Structure formats: C-alpha cells, structure tokens
Chains A and B, each alone.
With several copies, the nearest count.
Chain A
C-alpha cells in the first residue's frame, strides 16, 4: 500500500473532506468520488432506521489493497486512490463506503471508481444488516463472494 493509496476500515464517520482534499494531484485534472449512503428504503423494508455492518475484520484492508493494486494494473494512469468502508452502526444518510480516484482525464476517473465499488461489493467480506420498524435482517441483493482477480473487466 503506497503513499498514494488510502485504504481504511473505520468504525467512525468516513473522513470525507480529508480524503477529498488528499486525492487531488497537480498532474490529474479529474477527481471522482463515490459514496454509498444508508437508504431508508430497501425493497419491501419501507422504513429502515439504520444499518449495521459486520466484517471479517482482519481481511478487509488486505482485500481492499488487492482491489487497489488490480485497479492500478488496469488503469496505470491513476494518481491517488482511496477505498474506505465503515463497520458498526450507520445512520440513514451517512456514508458506509467511499471510493475516490484522481486521474489525468475525466473518463477514466469514472471507470476506475465504478470498477472499484463493483469489485468491493463482490469480493470484500462485509455483511450489511438492516434494522427497520418491523425487524432486522441481512441485506438483500447479497452476492456470493468472489476473488478480485475474477472481477469483470472495465467495460461491464
């Protein structure tokens, strides 16, 4: 994990402003930042109150580091790259995950961030629990865990 990667699992709020300032590089004209934020509605669970993320903690940062390495192999022009995920409770509207990248030109900034979030959701051992008025259960739309090397290409 080089000085141009910011990879973190945190139980507090994601340090959005710090990452946004850090990711900018003088040689890069484009920054894209994606945040996954906790939604109050999830299919047939109409009033979700909060989420709780559980992780296989020792292996989250290694997996996200693997994603960063593979992203840089696919997009060597990436300047700085951040992958940050929360564990524990996350209130509605708060960010559970943030991906940020700087690149020389704009199109690749979208591509690399989009690829990183898609790959993170398929390969990092994290589980979301939704707590709503009527109950609590694990997130719908879970994906069988796959390996970073098997992630689909940039042109999905």
Chain B
C-alpha cells in the first residue's frame, strides 16, 4: 500500500509484491518503482497490517505492507 507522495512515486495505491520478509518486499518494491520511491524511503515508516514492523519480520500471502511517508493530517 502506498500513500501521499509514495503513491505519486508509484502511480498506484497498492500492488502485489513477492518476498519472504518485510525487508524483501520493500526492496522488491523499490526495484520496481525506481529512484523517486528510493529517495522517499528514508522518511517513510513501514507498517505490517497496521502496526510498525521490522525488516526481518516474515510475511505471508495475505499480509499488507504499507509505506507511510511523513504525515500531514490535522
């Protein structure tokens, strides 16, 4: 799942990515969408099914990894 500037960088809101861990999924995503997303990445948080996660966390087919750029609600 992509939001805000990360959605602009990918041109989509969601995509299917293969990977064994959260780190794998993020790396494969950046490879697919290129430099603009790579530049955003250091400011993004990564959530797995709505909770903060770590690169080592394993993921399955139904898991949702979200890339969350800096927020601007309010």
Which residues in window 58-101 of A have CB below 8 A to B? Answer: 58-59, 62, 85, 96-97
Within 8 A of A (CB), among B17-71: 43, 45, 47, 50, 52, 66, 68-71
B72, A142: Cβ atoms closer than 8 Å = yes
Contact indicator B4/A143 (Cβ below 8 Å): no
A125 engages B72 (CB within 8 Å): no
Which residues from A are CB-within-8-Å of B5?
127, 138
B11 at the interface (CB under 8 A from A): no
A59 touches B72 (CB 8 A): no
How distant is B51 from chain A, measured CB to nearest CB, in Å?
Answer: 9
Q: A56-B1, A59-B50, A145-B45 given as contacts; is B72 within 8 A of A138 (CB)?
A: yes
The distance in angstroms between the C-alpha atoms of A144 and B4, with both chains bound, is 12
Which residue on A lies nearest to B1, using beta carbons?
A56
Contact A122 B71 (CB under 8 A): yes
Tally of chain A residues near chain B (CB < 8 A): 32
Interface residues of A in 125-156 (CB under 8 A from B): 125-129, 138-145, 147
User: Count of B residues near A, CB < 8 Å?
Assistant: 19
A19 within 8 A of B: no
Interface flags, A115-127, vs B, CB<8A=1, else 0? 0010011111111
In this complex, what residue of B is CB-closest to A58?
Answer: B50
- Are A139 and B45 in contact, CB atoms less than 8 angstroms apart? no
CA distance A36 to B73 in the complex (A): 10
Is A4 positioned at the interface, with any CB of B under 8 Å from its CB?
no
The 8 closest A-B pairs by CB, nearest first: A126-B73, A127-B4, A139-B72, A142-B70, A121-B74, A142-B72, A128-B72, A145-B45
